[in-house]
């Protein structure tokens, strides 16, 4: 096995392993920590896809901001060593059935499809992304910034405790 393939398998392994732990462990705090592991794996896969910029963004935004915000919310809303969620076997079995069937169906589709291919060489640079963001995708870019502004104000209004219960 070549070295790139070994690294690819390593990152794929921590992505899938982290995802499995993130949905199966019964303690929410450990779920959030496993989510960080999974996101680190996805960042490694982005490097394999020549998107170093997205790998860095994944680490900064997902691991550095989103996961930390989730950990804060867990600490604010639960005792530190929370009681384990009761196991509802019926619900778990139904969820596993739905997700398993979905996985089987989707992987069959992926196995049978002929995807169009393009040459792998091209302009993956940050400059290209910047031109795309502020050129052809100008309006979506502005809308996303508006959405983020609304999210900030909405979060402040929702959790602000002045004058409300």
Partner 1 sequence: MSESLGAYLFISTALFCLGVYGLLSRRNLVAMLISLELILNSASLNFVAFNKFSLINKAAGQTFAVFVIALAAAEVTIGLSLILLFHRKRDSINVEDAGEMKG
DSSP letter for 84, please. Answer: P
Q: How far is CA 161 from CA 33, 142, 155, 165, in A?
A: 29, 31, 12, 7
The span from the CA of 124 to the CA of 88, in Å, is: 47
CB within 8 Å of 70: residues ≥ 6 apart: 32, 35
Q: How far is the CB of 163 from partner 1 (least distance, A)?
A: 14
The span from the CA of 94 to the CA of 98, in Å, is: 6
Hey, what are 133's tokens? 């963001």
Helices 3-24, 28-48: axis angle to 10 degrees equals 160
> Is there a contact between 36 and 60 (Cβ–Cβ < 8 Å)?
no
Q: How far is the CB of 158 from partner 1 (least distance, A)?
A: 4
CB within 8 Å of 153: residues ≥ 6 apart: none
Instruction: Tell me whether residue 5 or residue 80 sits nearer to partner 1 (CB atom).
Output: 5
């Amino acid at each position: 096995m070549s070295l790139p393939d070994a690294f690819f398998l390593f990152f794929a392994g921590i992505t899938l392993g982290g995802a499995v732990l993130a949905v199966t462990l019964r303690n929410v705090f450990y779920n959030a920590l496993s989510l960080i592991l999974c996101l680190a794996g996805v960042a490694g896969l982005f490097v394999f896809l020549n998107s170093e910029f997205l790998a860095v963004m994944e680490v900064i935004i997902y691991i550095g901001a989103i996961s930390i915000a989730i950990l804060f919310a867990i600490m604010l809303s639960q005792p530190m060593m929370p009681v384990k969620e009761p196991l509802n076997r019926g619900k778990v079995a139904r969820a596993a059935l739905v997700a398993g069937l979905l996985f089987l169906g989707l992987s069959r589709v992926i196995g049978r499809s002929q995807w169009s291919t393009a040459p792998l060489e091209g302009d993956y640079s940050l400059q290209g992304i910047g031109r795309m963001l502020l050129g052809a995708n100008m309006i979506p870019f502005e809308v996303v910034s508006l959405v983020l502004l609304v999210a900030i104000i909405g979060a402040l209004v929702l959790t602000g405790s002045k004058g409300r219960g």
